[in-house]
Amino acid sequence: MTTPTRRSLREEKMSFAAVEPHATAAKVLTRMRPGQMLGDALLWVAAVAGAVCILLVVLAFTAQITLIMFRTGSMSPTIPAGSVAVVQRVPASEVQVGDVVTVDREGELPVTHRVTTIAPGAGTQERIITMRGDANAAGDPFPYTVSSVRKVLFSVPGIALVIAGMGDPIVLGTLTVAATSLVVWAFWPRGQRRSGRHLDGNGP
């Protein structure tokens, strides 16, 4: 029998160290099943969506930034129907001709059009503005006396139905159940499940 030399032992150890990480990585990749990869991807999507929701809540309270949906095409083609706009409440004194703003009307739906003229109001913070939709041939039938408005910062077309659907109780309930199930599945102790399979003789 050949006695291993110190050099051969060192070379064998180096070869094992070089191969082992690759073997381990291949073993890990083999163990990652499509269901687990899909679950991880869904967790990332849920995390991003949660972060966006938290950011919107923070902006609503700190910077008075909210969302509005466009159900009509009066601002087309600039803001077509079905768009969602990000708006920020600003003093009327900061409004300029050409701005697209939302005016809240008591007892009526808000109106979002482009400012065409601005005149001083009765108070220092008041302004009398006239507006017109980009798709309308004529301006709004009467001026608006405002002390503040919600100025459109930017808009995203085609997502109003998605945002509106999120407010449906059935959709919210379904998303809540799905998110809860996903979190439970993600944090369920997989080691115990594997041990159980080994004990039953069903696992590798």
The CATH number for 127's domain is 2.10.109.10
Amino acid at the residue 125: Q
Q: Is residue 54 part of a domain?
A: no
Q: Which SS3 state, helix, strand or coil, does residue 149 take?
A: strand
Q: Which domain holds residue 101?
A: 63-162
pTM over 0.85: no
Q: Is residue 23 part of a domain?
A: no
pLDDT at residue 149 greater than cutoff 70: yes
Quick one: what percent of the chain has pLDDT higher than 90?
Answer: 36
Q: Is residue 10 part of a domain?
A: no
Q: Is residue 57 part of a domain?
A: no
Q: Is residue 123 part of a domain?
A: yes
Distances (CA, A) of 47 to 18, 40, 111, 123, 179: 37, 10, 34, 47, 10
Domain count, the chain: 1
Q: Is residue 79 part of a domain?
A: yes
Contact 135, 74 (CB under 8 A): yes
Q: Is residue 50 part of a domain?
A: no
pLDDT value for 97 = 97
At CA 170, angle to CA 167 and CA 174, rounded to 5?
100
